[in-house]
Amino acid sequence: MALYMYKRAEHQKLYNKTTLKNLKNPDMQMMIMILLLCSVIITILFFTKGGKSNTPSSPPSLPLIGNLHQLGHHPHRSLCFLSHRYGPLMLLHFGSVPVLVVSSMEAAKEVLKTHDRVFASRPRSKIFQKFLYDGQDVAAAPYGEYWRQMKSVCVLHLLSNKMVRSFGNVREEEMSLMMEKIRKASSLPVNLSELLANLTNDVICRVALGRKYGCETDFKELMERLTRLLGVFSVGTYVPWLAWIDWIRGLDSQLEKLRNDVDEFLERVLQDHEDGDRGDRTDFVDVLLKIQREKSVGFDIDRVSIKAIILDVFVGGTDTSYTLMEWVMLGVFKAPKTNVVV
Question: Least distance (Å) from ligand NAG to the CB of residue 88?
Answer: 36
In the shown chain, the binding pattern of residues 3 to 32 toward ligand HEM, with x for contact by CB under 6 A and - for none, equals ------------------------------
- The answer to whether 228 contacts ligand NAG (rule: CB under 6 A) is no
- The answer to whether 197 contacts ligand HEM (rule: CB under 6 A) is no
Using CB under 6 A, which of 72, 98, 214, 250 touches ligand NAG? Answer: 214
In the shown chain, the binding pattern of residues 121 to 140 toward ligand HEM, with x for contact by CB under 6 A and - for none, equals -----------------xx-
Q: Is 77 exposed, middle or buried (0-12, 13-18, 19+ CB in 10 A)?
A: exposed
- The answer to whether 83 contacts ligand NAG (rule: CB under 6 A) is no
- The answer to whether 195 contacts ligand NAG (rule: CB under 6 A) is yes
245, 236 Cβ separation under 8 angstroms = yes
Q: Which of 178, 183, 149 is nearest to 292 (CA)?
A: 149
Closer to ligand HEM by Cβ: residue 251 or 313? 313
**Number of residues forming the site for ligand NAG (CB under 6 A):** 10
Using CB under 6 A, which of 87, 290, 316, 326 touches ligand HEM? Answer: 316
Closer to ligand HEM by Cβ: residue 83 or 200? 200
Contacted entry of ligand HEM, ligand NAG, none for residue 139, CB cut-off 5 to 8 Å set by kind: ligand HEM
Question: Least distance (Å) from ligand HEM to the CB of residue 238?
Answer: 21
Contacted entry of ligand NAG, ligand HEM, none for residue 198, CB cut-off 5 to 8 Å set by kind: ligand NAG
Q: Could you give the CA distance from residue 143 to residue 145 in angstroms, rounded to a whole number?
A: 7
Q: Which residues are 90's β-sheet partners? A: 57, 101
Using CB under 6 A, which of 83, 198, 200, 237 touches ligand NAG? Answer: 198
Q: Rg of the Cα trace of the chain?
A: 28
Considering only residues 146 to 185 of the shown chain, the ones binding ligand HEM according to CB under 6 A are 151, 154
Task: Give first-to-last CA distance, the chain, whole Å.
Answer: 85
Q: Which residues are 91's β-sheet partners? A: 100
Contacted entry of ligand NAG, ligand HEM, none for residue 191, CB cut-off 5 to 8 Å set by kind: ligand NAG
In the shown chain, the binding pattern of residues 254 to 293 toward ligand HEM, with x for contact by CB under 6 A and - for none, equals ----------------------------------------
Question: Least distance (Å) from ligand HEM to the CB of residue 292?
Answer: 18
Question: Least distance (Å) from ligand NAG to the CB of residue 97?
Answer: 31
- The answer to whether 227 contacts ligand NAG (rule: CB under 6 A) is no
Phi, psi (degrees; rounded to nearest 5) at 264: -60, -45
Q: Which of 86, 252, 113, 114 is nearest to 100 (CA)?
A: 86
Site residues (CB under 6 A) for ligand NAG?
Answer: 181, 191, 193-195, 197-198, 214-215, 220
